[in-house]
Structures are given as structure tokens and as C-alpha cells.
């Protein structure tokens, strides 16, 4: 049986969508590898009528731009030539709180391990963990795996605060995996951060209802009923008649 035109059109759309996502992943991977020590968080590519808009989020945007914009111009040319982009427009977005971004925290750990070696991995783990908790995170977990500090591979876990690992809330946890290349071998790093703006289902707060104040009874003012003007005139006429008869 042949494939109908309708199904063939769906297949083409799926292939185009998959190819687009693969290109986005390759661009993000290239930018992450080429930009070092800039606090790279994530890269997003959005298609516009004028071309492709690439937004790079980082904690040090000045290092990406460079002096007089030389670095960003060179990056734009490289992306256009390497990934066959028509009119790429690179934008830089600054991360407000780098200590709550799992990618930036993992990059800090990788840089520290590659600089000071695996002998000080405990001091590095506790220092980074303290910075993240002081930034307002609800919880953090750092797992360092590899030949640290001995010749045999081990896993060390640094944990602080409250961290959900199951349920719907676990999908909101910021997780990232990274690798540090040392002389003794490659060390794997896994960072999980629970942000402060997450809403937990078991976080219940009781709100006190305002006390209702009893209103004081108002004193009733008794007023004599007013006589009708016609009755007053009748009484006045009768009084004048009696005086005249007397």
C-alpha cells in the first residue's frame, strides 16, 4: 500500500521539526563549548521573518560581547557559516541570580576542579553549596563521581535543604550534568537545585479570619406624633368660639 499525500505531508513536517531541534541542540552545544568562563546558562533560537534570533543567557554578558562588539560579531559570522543560517541575530541576556542557575553552578564547580585539582573537591562542594543556599534556594544536591581522591572511582554527595525527587514537583527541579577533565581522568558532576519560587503541594498556610465586632445598640429617640394641621386649625377655631360666647 502506498502512502497517501496527507500522511506523506505529516512525515515531512515531522522530519522538518526534528531537523530544527537537532540544529538548535548543535548550536547550543557549540556555544557552550566555545564560550568558557562566561557563566553560560542556556541558548534559545527563535525563527523570525528577518532571520534566526539566537538569545544567549549568561552571568557575564560583557565577556561575550567583547571590546567594541568584536566577539559577538565573530560569533555571528561563525554561526552563519557553520550552521548555514540566513541572517542570525545574536542577543545577550543577563541572568539575574547566577547562584540559582544549575548550569552556571555546575560550570563554577568544573572551573574550580580543573584549576585546583580533585584534592580540594570537598572544600569546593561545601563552598558552592553555601553560596546557593544563601541565594535563597530551598535545597541543593551536588554529586561528584570519579577518581576522587583515590585511584578507585567513588561518588560523593553534598546535600543541603529540601529537595523533591518524585511526583510532579520533581519536574520543576533544575538539574544539569557536567564533566571536569583532569589529569587523573574525567569527573562527572550532577547539580540539582530547588528554586525558591516553587509551590509545594504540602505547603499549607492558615489565615486567621478577622474578628467580627458586635455593634452597640443605638438608643431609640421617642418622638411625639405631630398633629395634622387641619386638626390644629379646628382646635383653634373652637377655642375662639368659646371665648366669644363667654
Per residue in 171-226, pLDDT (tens digit) is: 889 999 999 988 888 899 999 999 988 887 777 778 887 777 766 666 655 555 55
When pLDDT is averaged across residues 132-149 and rounded to a whole number, the result is 91
DSSP SS3 for 159: strand
In DSSP terms, which residues pair with 146 in a beta bridge?
154
Question: Going by DSSP bridges, is the β-strand pair 51-58/89-94 parallel, antiparallel, or unpaired?
Answer: parallel
Q: Cell 574550580, residue?
A: 112
**Listed residue (113, 85, 94) closest to 23, CA to CA:** 85
User: Could you state, in order of their start, the residue ranges of all structural domains in the chain?
Assistant: 5-95, 99-194
Contact call for residues 164 and 207 (beta carbons, < 8 A): no
Rounded-to-integer distance, Cα 15 and Cα 21, Å: 10
CATH number 3.30.300.20 is the correct assignment for the domain at 5-95:
yes
DSSP SS3 for 246: coil
Hey, what CATH topology would domain 99-194 get? Ribosomal protein S3 C-terminal domain (3.30.1140)
When pLDDT is averaged across residues 143-160 and rounded to a whole number, the result is 86
pTM above 0.75, yes or no: no
Mean pLDDT of the chain: 82
When pLDDT is averaged across residues 9-15 and rounded to a whole number, the result is 76
DSSP SS3 for 30: helix
Amino acid at each position: 500500500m502506498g502512502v497517501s499525500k496527507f500522511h506523506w505531508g505529516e512525515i515531512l513536517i515531522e522530519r522538518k521539526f526534528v531537523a530544527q531541534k537537532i540544529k538548535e541542540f548543535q548550536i547550543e552545544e557549540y556555544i557552550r563549548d566555545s564560550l568558557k568562563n562566561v557563566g553560560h546558562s542556556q541558548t534559545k533560537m527563535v525563527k523570525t521573518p528577518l532571520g534566526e534570533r539566537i538569545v544567549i543567557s549568561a552571568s557575564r554578558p560583557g565577556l561575550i560581547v567583547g571590546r567594541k562588539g568584536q566577539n559577538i560579531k565573530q560569533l555571528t559570522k561563525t554561526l552563519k557559516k557553520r550552521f548555514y543560517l540566513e541572517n542570525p541575530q545574536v542577543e545577550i541576556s543577563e541572568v539575574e541570580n547566577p547562584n540559582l542557575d544549575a548550569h552556571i553552578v555546575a560550570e563554577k564547580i568544573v572551573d574550580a576542579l580543573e584549576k585546583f585539582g580533585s584534592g580540594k573537591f570537598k572544600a569546593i562542594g561545601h563552598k558552592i553549596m553555601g553560596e546557593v543556599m544563601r541565594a535563597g534556594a530551598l535545597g541543593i544536591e551536588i554529586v561528584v563521581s570519579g577518581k576522587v581522591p583515590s585511584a578507585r572511582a567513588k561518588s560523593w554527595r553534598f546535600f543541603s535543604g529540601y529537595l523533591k525527587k518524585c511526583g510532579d514537583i520533581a519536574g520543576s527541579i533544575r538539574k544539569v550534568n557536567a564533566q571536569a577533565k583532569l589529569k587523573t581522568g574525567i569527573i562527572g558532576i550532577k547539580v540539582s537545585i530547588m528554586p525558591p519560587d516553587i509551590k509545594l503541594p504540602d505547603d499549607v498556610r492558615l489565615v486567621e479570619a478577622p474578628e467580627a465586632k458586635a455593634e452597640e445598640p443605638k438608643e431609640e429617640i421617642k418622638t411625639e406624633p405631630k398633629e395634622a394641621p387641619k386638626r390644629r386649625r379646628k382646635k383653634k377655631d373652637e377655642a375662639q368660639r368659646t371665648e366669644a360666647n363667654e
